[in-house]
C-alpha cells in the first residue's frame, strides 16, 4: 500500500512509518520543514514538504493521487495557541479530507483525541483543542466519499508498547503508549471492515490484532 500521512514527523507518525516500511508498504509523510526529511527517510518513508496551513486542496490532492490510504496524524502541538488548534487540528484535517476525495482515496484514518467534541465548553487552550478535534471528526464522518475510521487514543505515553490494548466505541479514560497507537493504526489500515467506526483506545488485556478483528464491522 502507498499510505500518505499528514503530520509525517509527529511521534505517532514516525512510528507508523517504520511499521509500514517494515511490512513492505510505501509510507509518504507530509512535513512542514525540509530539515525533517532525513528523519522520515531513516524511518523508511518518502518525505514531501508541504504546509497544510497554506496549501491548496489541489496541491495536497497531487500528493495523495495514487495512494491506497490517507492518515491524518497532524497537530498544532502543545505549545500552540487556540488559533492554530483551529487551523491545524480542524482546518488541515478538513483540507486533507477534501484532497483525499478529490484524489479518489477512499480509505481515511484520523488520529483524534479522547473527549473530542465540537460543543466542548471552556475557554482554555485544551478546550479549544477538543472542540477543533471534535469538529474535524464530525466533518470526516459526514463524508460518503470516504471509508473513514476515527481513532481516539487515551493519554499518550512514551512507554514501550505492550501490544495489549482495549479498543472499543467507549473505553473510559486511561493511558496508551504511542507505540501501540501506531501499531493499531497499521492494523486498522489492514482491516477495511473498521470503516465507519469511531474507536477509543487505551492499554488493556487483548492482543492488538485480536482487538481490531473483534471490533471490525461493529
List, by residue number, the catalytic residues.
129
Instruction: Give me the DSSP letters along 177-211.
Output: EHHHHHHHHHHHHT-GGGTTEEEEEEE-SEEHHHH
Buried residues in 49-85 as b, exposed as e (16+ CB within 10 A): ebebeebebeebbbbbeebebbbbbbbbeeebebebb
Q: Are 5 and 71 in contact (CB under 8 A)?
A: yes
Amino acid at each position: 500500500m502507498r499510505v500518505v500521512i499528514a503530520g509525517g514527523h509527529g511521534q505517532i507518525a514516525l512510528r507508523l512509518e517504520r511499521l509500514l516500511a517494515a511490512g513492505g508498504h510505501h509510507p509518504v509523510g507530509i512535513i512542514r520543514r525540509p530539515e525533517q526529511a532525513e528523519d522520515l527517510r531513516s524511518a523508511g518513508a518518502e518525505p514531501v514538504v508541504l504546509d497544510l496551513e497554506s496549501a491548496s486542496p489541489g496541491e495536497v490532492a497531487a500528493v495523495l493521487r495514487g495512494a491506497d490510504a490517507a492518515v491524518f496524524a497532524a497537530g498544532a502541538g502543545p505549545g500552540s495557541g487556540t488559533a492554530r488548534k483551529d487551523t491545524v487540528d480542524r482546518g488541515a484535517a478538513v483540507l486533507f479530507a477534501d484532497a483525499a476525495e478529490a484524489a479518489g482515496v477512499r480509505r481515511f484514518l484520523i488520529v483524534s483525541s479522547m473527549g473530542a467534541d465540537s460543543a466542548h465548553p471552556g475557554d482554555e487552550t485544551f478546550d479549544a483543542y477538543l472542540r477543533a478535534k471534535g469538529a474535524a471528526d464530525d466533518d470526516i464522518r459526514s463524508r460518503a466519499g470516504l471509508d473513514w475510521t476515527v481513532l481516539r487514543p487515551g493519554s499518550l505515553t512514551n512507554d514501550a508498547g505492550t501490544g495489549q490494548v482495549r479498543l472499543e466505541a467507549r473505553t473510559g479514560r486511561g493511558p496508551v503508549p504511542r507505540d501501540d497507537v501506531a501499531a493499531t493504526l497499521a492494523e486498522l489500515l489492514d482491516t477495511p471492515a473498521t470503516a465507519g467506526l469511531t474507536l477509543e483506545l487505551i492499554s488493556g488485556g487483548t492482543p492488538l490484532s485480536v482487538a481490531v478483528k473483534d471490533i471490525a464491522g461493529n
